């Protein structure tokens, strides 16, 4: 089929990003917007905007019935869910199918297979991919027995969790019982699923992920990204390719990601995430994100591809337009997530109105944003304002461009984390590359003094992410 009109079931920079590709492809766009976003930049960029509900996401962007009604009313051929919100919701994918609307993403069955962390782990094992030692537990006694087998320290994870949520480190046996009970209660409240599982905690790990693309019959990879610069399991800076990664390990991870995708006969874009044990030079499967990622621009910069266009092509039933040999990586790219948050107040969100917005331009610089002077930053959603992406012939040139670009970026009216990014970009340790997931916590404690106390606590907790 040919997609001629598409509903974007999202907001912010990813909505603007999807509109750009659709415009180039000659696809009409309809933006599904809450009351808070009816006057947003994406609303003006789209060919048409349709209201889906009040500002709270539970009554708009997460309301499956409302989004499907909007899609039907707009008579669209397809829905692009972006990332977050309903992008990995199998029920939403089924509702689109039942309405005769193409869901731009994997099948509902594939979303279910990777959305449940235990099922995803089982698929990884079946595909011959190493996983962190651990397993499911249904009680404190089961957890105690498993802990004796896999060793300490441990990490408790919610089966239905994601994005760093639903995780609780445990360093000593005396704290296990209480931690298990709390984790189960929290998981049930947050995800409606009280199931948890244990993993051995890898203390010096890197978060490296591999981008894959499938058409339901074949799967290829589009290189890797390092996402180890994080605070409280949330990514801050991403780069492609992952620096200081041994070639043999890199190739093995690429092969593992493709094997995982083929195991599922995967359709669409997906990211297979791994934890790299720096001391042992081993990697473990963490999870798969069955959607486009926030950090997809760094992959686009080093491959020259438009990943949204590839998503749409596959959703139209086309075979992959690329063979693995067609994927050639060029140079290095780094992305900084510019958020409306106050680092001096433990990164508290900073809603408000943008009074100044000046972004850098020039060779190798890309800005993905949805803000301008006068733009409202509502308190209801993620605080991401823009993504600054730079590309260079190598990582050294990329870092030089990043530092200059950050120095020429100005956003006023709301507090941002630009100074934090500048501090990281100027760090000698970051410049050397290959830092672990706990590096930022240690770094920020040093930079911010007392303001980095919470990060130091996270650092001491350890590092399996996913």
By three-state DSSP, how is residue 219 classified?
strand
> What angle do helix axes 418-425 and 439-448 make, rounded to 10 degrees?
110
By three-state DSSP, how is residue 1 classified?
coil
DSSP string, 85-136: TTTT-HHHHHHHHHTT-EESSS-HHHHHHHHSHHHHHHHHHHTT--B-SEEE
Q: What pLDDT is stored for residue 192 in this prediction?
A: 81
pLDDT in tens, 253-307: 999 999 999 999 999 999 999 999 988 889 999 999 999 999 999 999 999 999 9
Tens of pLDDT, residue by residue, the chain (466 residues): 899 999 999 999 999 999 999 999 999 999 999 999 999 999 999 999 999 999 999 999 999 999 999 999 999 999 999 999 999 999 999 999 999 999 999 999 999 999 988 899 999 999 999 999 998 898 989 999 999 999 999 999 888 776 566 788 999 999 999 999 888 888 888 778 888 989 988 878 999 999 999 999 999 999 999 999 999 889 999 999 999 999 999 999 999 999 999 999 999 999 999 999 988 889 999 999 999 999 999 999 999 999 999 999 999 999 999 999 999 999 999 999 999 999 889 999 999 999 999 999 999 999 999 999 999 999 999 999 999 999 999 999 999 999 999 999 999 999 999 999 999 999 999 999 999 999 999 999 988 774 444 443 443 344 555 5
Q: What pLDDT is stored for residue 448 in this prediction?
A: 77
CB 283 within 8 Å of CB 465: no
How distant, in Å, are the alpha carbons of 116, 430, 440 from that of 458? 25, 19, 10
Which are the contacts of 419, defined by CB distance < 8 A and separation ≥ 6?
Answer: 343
Q: What pLDDT is stored for residue 163 in this prediction?
A: 57
Catalytic residues: 291
Q: What is the pTM of this model?
A: 0.92
Which are the contacts of 73, defined by CB distance < 8 A and separation ≥ 6?
Answer: 50
Q: What pLDDT is stored for residue 165 in this prediction?
A: 67
How distant, in Å, are the alpha carbons of 129, 179, 185, 199, 341 from that of 148? 24, 16, 23, 12, 41
CB 360 within 8 Å of CB 409: yes
Read off φ and ψ for residue 110, nearest 5 degrees: -70, -40
How many residues are present in the chain? 466
Return the H-helix or E-strand segment holding 250: helix 247-264
Kindly state the tokens that stand for 339: 């958020």
Q: What pLDDT is stored for residue 456 in this prediction?
A: 38
Side-chain-facing half-sphere of 74: CA atoms under 13 Å = 30
Q: What pLDDT is stored for residue 237 in this prediction?
A: 98
Residue 182 to residue 432: CA distance in whole angstroms = 39
- From 427, 227, 444, 207, select the one nearest 335 (Cα to Cα): 227
Task: For residue 274, count other CB atoms closer than 10 A to its CB.
Answer: 28
CB 43 within 8 Å of CB 19: no
Distance of CA 324 to the CA centre of its chain: 24
Cis peptide before 246 (omega within 30 of 0): no
How far the first Cα of the chain sits from its last, in Å, is: 35
Q: What pLDDT is stored for residue 119 in this prediction?
A: 92
Q: What pLDDT is stored for residue 31 in this prediction?
A: 98
CB 304 within 8 Å of CB 272: no
CB 310 within 8 Å of CB 376: no
Which are the contacts of 274, defined by CB distance < 8 A and separation ≥ 6?
Answer: 207, 208, 209, 210, 253, 256, 257, 283, 284, 285, 286
pLDDT in tens, 39-95: 999 999 999 999 999 999 999 999 999 999 999 999 999 999 999 999 999 999 999
Return the H-helix or E-strand segment holding 238: strand 234-240
Residue 435 to residue 454: CA distance in whole angstroms = 19
Q: What pLDDT is stored for residue 344 in this prediction?
A: 86
Angle at 464 between CA 459 and CA 466, to 5 degrees: 120
Residue 377 to residue 354: CA distance in whole angstroms = 7
Rg (CA), the chain: 21
**Which structural domains are found in the chain, ordered by start?**
5-104 (3.40.50.20), 133-200 (3.30.1490.20), 205-461 (3.30.470.20)
């Amino acid at each position: 089929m040919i997609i001629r009109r598409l509903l974007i079931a999202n907001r912010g920079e990813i909505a603007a990003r999807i509109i750009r590709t659709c415009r180039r492809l000659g696809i009409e766009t309809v933006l599904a917007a809450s009351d808070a976003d009816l006057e947003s930049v994406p609303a003006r960029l789209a060919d048409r905007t349709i209201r889906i509900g009040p500002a709270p996401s539970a009554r708009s962007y997460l309301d499956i019935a409302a989004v499907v009604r909007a899609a039907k009313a707009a008579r669209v051929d397809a829905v692009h869910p972006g990332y977050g919100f309903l992008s990995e919701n199998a029920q939403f994918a089924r509702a689109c199918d039942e309405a005769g609307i193409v869901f731009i993403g994997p099948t509902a069955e594939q979303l279910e297979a990777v959305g449940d962390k235990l099922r995803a782990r089982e698929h990884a094992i079946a595909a011959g991919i190493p996983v962190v030692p651990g397993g499911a537990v249904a009680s404190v006694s089961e957890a105690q027995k498993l802990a004796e087998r896999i060793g300490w320290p441990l990490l408790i994870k919610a089966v239905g969790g994601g994005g760093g949520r639903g995780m609780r480190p445990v360093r000593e046996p005396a704290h296990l019982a209480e931690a298990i009970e709390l984790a189960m209660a929290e998981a049930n409240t947050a995800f409606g699923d009280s199931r948890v599982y244990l993993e051995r905690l890898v203390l010096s790990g890197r978060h490296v992920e591999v981008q894959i693309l499938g058409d339901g019959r074949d799967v290829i990879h589009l290189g890797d990204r390092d996402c180890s610069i994080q605070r409280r399991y949330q990514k801050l800076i991403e780069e492609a390719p992952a620096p200081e990664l041994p070639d043999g390990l890199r190739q093995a991870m690429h092969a593992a990601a493709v094997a995982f995708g083929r195991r599922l006969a995967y359709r669409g874009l997906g990211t297979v995430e791994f934890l790299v044990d720096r001391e042992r030079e081993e990697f473990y499967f963490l999870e798969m994100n069955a959607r486009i990622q926030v950090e997809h621009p760094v992959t686009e910069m080093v491959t020259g591809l438009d990943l949204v266009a590839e998503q749409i092509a596959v959703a139209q039933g086309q075979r992959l337009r690329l063979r693995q040999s067609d994927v050639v990586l060029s140079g290095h790219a780094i992305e900084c997530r510019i958020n409306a948050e106050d680092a001096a107040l433990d990164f508290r969100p900073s809603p408000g109105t943008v009074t100044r917005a000046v972004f850098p331009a020039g060779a190798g610089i890309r800005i993905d944003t949805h803000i301008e002077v006068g733009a409202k930053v509502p308190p209801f959603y993620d605080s991401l304002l823009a993504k600054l992406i730079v590309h260079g012939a190598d990582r050294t040139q990329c870092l030089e461009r990043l530092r200059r670009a950050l120095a020429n970026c100005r956003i006023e009216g709301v507090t941002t984390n630009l100074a934090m990014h500048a501090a990281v970009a100027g760090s000698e340790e970051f410049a050397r590359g290959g830092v672990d997931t706990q590096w930022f916590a240690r770094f920020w404690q040093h930079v911010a003094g007392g303001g980095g106390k919470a990060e130091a606590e996270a650092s001491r907790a350890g590092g399996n992410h996913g």
